[in-house]
Structure 1
Amino acid sequence: MGNWIKPIVYGVGGILGTCAALLVTFQEKLVYVPVLPGTTKGYSITPASLHLNYEDVWLTSADGVRLHAWFLRRLPHCADPTILYFQENAGNIGDSLGFTRSMLENLKCNVFMLSYRGYGASDGYPSQAGIIRDSQAALEHLLQRTDIDRSKIVVFGRSLGGAVGVALAKNNPEKFSALILENTFTSVLDMAGVVLPPLKRFIGSNDPRILNFLVRSPWNTIDIIDQIKQPILFISGSRDELVPPAHMRMLYEKTKHNRRCMFEEFPKGTHMNTWYMAGERYWQVMQHFLEKELSSSESK
């Protein structure tokens, strides 16, 4: 038996060692993908090319990084909600303009689209601490504007953007009205085992695991989401091919003490196209949530 055990042990150790080495070497490129293969860092589509009413906004993050954003305005000086939009990890905000244009039309809102550091026209290099600073700069900008209703700021985040939104909500419990999360992961620690299955027993958020220290951007949303005070709408695509839909359910389960949280599942929804595959019901769910929560915040 001994002759058989050694090769197996060495083989398993070799696989784990290789996975750990890949994680250390390439993790930032897996977590942050500002440029999709075959594209350039710039915007292939802009609000101008879609004939949208918009403003180029330039911000400076707390550590001095220059950031770019688009403020998509439905009507000047209106009382509509303003959605602070945080994108997924891959591509740039230009890739999301089809979605945000539909958001403008269906939700009758403004949309503020932030380019994280290292994405689009923003300077710098992405990191968890840096992107949290960037999100704070975006929120502070909106809170200083006089042409929006600052009592109706709503944060929307898809995938990585959901993790960004939760971190921002935890740090700013009284500064915006509601949070919408779509196809968001529990943590990058848990996603490591999805991308590299041999690491599942050694990296994860359920308990301290031996290789967790290797992950530089853990985005451990599952550990902080129960601290969020605002109402949360969870939008989950059942056919999400990148983030297991169970992650969204686990995040929701952690917020059951907050009776203003809602969970909506869309059977045909994929990671990026839940809104498209779900059709009108997607916007109806979101509109109902916003009308309910924004009206209740006005009455306080």
Structure 2
Amino acid sequence: MLRVVFVFAALAVLLYGGICLAMYLGQRQQIYHPEASWRVQQAPDFELVNDGVRLRGWVVNPGRAKALLYFGGNGERIEDSRQALSQWFPDRTIYLLPYRSYGASEGKPSERALVGDAQALFDRVARDHAAIAVVGRSLGSGVATQLAATRPVERLVLVTPFDSLVRVAAGYFSWLPVNALMQDRFESWRYVNDIHCPVLVIRAEQDEIIPAERTLALLKAFKQTPLVQVIADAGHNTVQDHADYRVSLERFLQ
């Protein structure tokens, strides 16, 4: 009987270890979902080469004095935001640069790569624009936060943000040692007090992806609490469809 128990225990340990190994090796496939962005409808008109990797995106409203950088969610086609952002911010030149492996961009995504590309984009845009605002949505909020902590961003908007991707993942996989497994951690709470510009946080009231406590934890990490806008009845993937979202962005960035 003891032998049978031992065998089952050993099998359980092996199975659990196998699951942990699979999650570790496949974690970036869980985090990044570029597939929806691969069908590029509008030919890119802007290119940035960073560390030998070519990133291809779009410039909207060229020639304006101020600029806006937009970093989207992990499964977002930022190409689809071209028209709306152009209309909402006619006084800003808008740069939409898909992450590595998204859209027509080359390379493989990782936290280090995405943040490094964002910094390279900011440095490139700063040659032509004295004031650069940044909007980061969902996963992009993690990129935008680290960018604003290391560059002189004019204004920062975080849409449906989180304090730590590790903590978000731990909420979904409480039975796994997520903290030990995750490589791309996007721990925004560590960087917020290196940000020295006005900050607006936009929450979706019915966010079904990012738990409210994760956004509230991020807000508590700031020494000076940012402005906060809660979009009533909005979900994580529908927040942009609500008029209050557009109005909040326009008021803050204009």
For normalisation by structure 1, the TM-score amounts to 0.75
Q: Which residue of 2 aligns with 1:283?
A: 246
Secondary structure of the residue aligned to 2:135 is strand
Give the structure 2 partner of residue 294 of structure 1.
none
Q: Distance in 1 between matches of 2:162 and 2:212?
A: 8
Alpha-carbon contact 1:35-1:91 (below 8 Å) kept: no
1:36-83 CA distances to partner (integer Å, 9 max, x unpaired)? Answer: 4xxx7231x32x7xxxxxx7111111x11111120111xx5334x421
**Per-residue CA shift, 1:90-109, capped at 9, x if unaligned?**
14433xx2x44223223333
Equivalences for residues 200-219 of structure 1 within 5 A: 202-204=177-179, 211=180, 214-219=181-186
* 8 Å Cα contact 1:188-1:220 kept in structure 2: yes
Distance in structure 2 (CA, Å) of the matches to 1:116 and 1:159: 14
Paired letter, 2:120? A
Q: Which amino acid aligns with 1:262?
A: L
SS of structure 2 residue aligned to 1:282 = helix
Shift of 1:182: 0.5
Residue aligning to 1:128: 111
For the Cα contact (< 8 Å) 2:78–2:96, is it kept in 1? Answer: yes
Map of 1:83 onto structure 2? 68
Note the C-alpha offset of 1:13: 5.4
Question: Structure 2 matches for 1:243-254, cutoff 5 A?
Answer: 243-254=210-221
| Distance 1:269-1:22 versus aligned 2 partners, 3 A rule | farther
With over 3 angstroms needed to count, the CA separation of the structure-2 counterparts of 1:12 and 1:270, relative to structure 1, is farther
Partner of 2:224: 258
Which of 181, 191, 195 is the matching residue for 2:158? Answer: 181
- Structure 2 gaps, min length 5: none
1:272 to 230, 237, 240: 237
Contact kept? 2:168, 2:214, Cα under 8 Å: no
Contact persistence 1:151–1:177 (CA under 8 A): no
User: Quick check: 125-134 or 183-192, which moved more?
Assistant: 183-192
Which residue identity is paired with 1:30? Answer: Q
Aligned residues of 2:63 and 2:93 also touching (Cα < 8 A) = no
2: CA distance, partners of 1:34 / 1:264: 28
3-state SS in 1 of match to 2:69: strand
Q: Which runs of 4+ in 1 moved over 6 A?
A: 5-12
Q: Structure 2 vs 1, CA of residues 196 and 152 (structure 1 numbering), >3 Å: closer, same or farther? A: same
Q: Comparing 234-243 with 103-112, which one deviates more in the overlay?
A: 103-112
Distance in structure 1 (CA, Å) of the matches to 2:8 and 2:159: 41
| 1:263–1:181 Cα change, 3 Å | same
| Counterpart contact for 1:157–1:182, Cα < 8 Å | yes
Partner of 2:189: 222
Per-residue CA distance 1:103-145 (angstroms, 9 max, x = gap): 3223333321011111111111111111112111211121112
Counterpart of 1:298 in structure 2 is none
Q: Distance in 1 between matches of 2:247 and 2:6?
A: 59
Matched to 1:274, the amino acid is V
Write out per-residue CA displacement over residues 206-254 of structure 1, whole angstroms, 9 at most, x where no aligned residue: xxxxx2xx21211111222222111110000021121112222211111
Q: 1:19 to 1:183 in 2, by over 3 A?
A: farther
Displacement of 1:21: 2.6
RMSD: 2.7
Identity of aligned residues (%): 25
Measured after TM superposition, the shift of residue 12 of structure 1 is 7.8
Q: What letter corresponds to residue 249 of structure 1 in structure 2?
A: L
What is the Cα deviation at residue 162 of structure 1? 0.6
Alignment match, 1:192? 169
What is residue 241 of structure 1 aligned with on the other side?
208
Q: Which residue is 1:208 aligned to?
A: none
Q: Given that residues 56 and 69 in structure 1 are in contact (C-alpha distance below 8 angstroms), is that contact kept between their aligned partners in structure 2?
A: yes
Any conservation in 2 of the 1:186–1:250 contact (CA below 8 Å)?
A: yes
Please give the secondary structure, in 1, of the residue aligned with 2:215.
Answer: helix
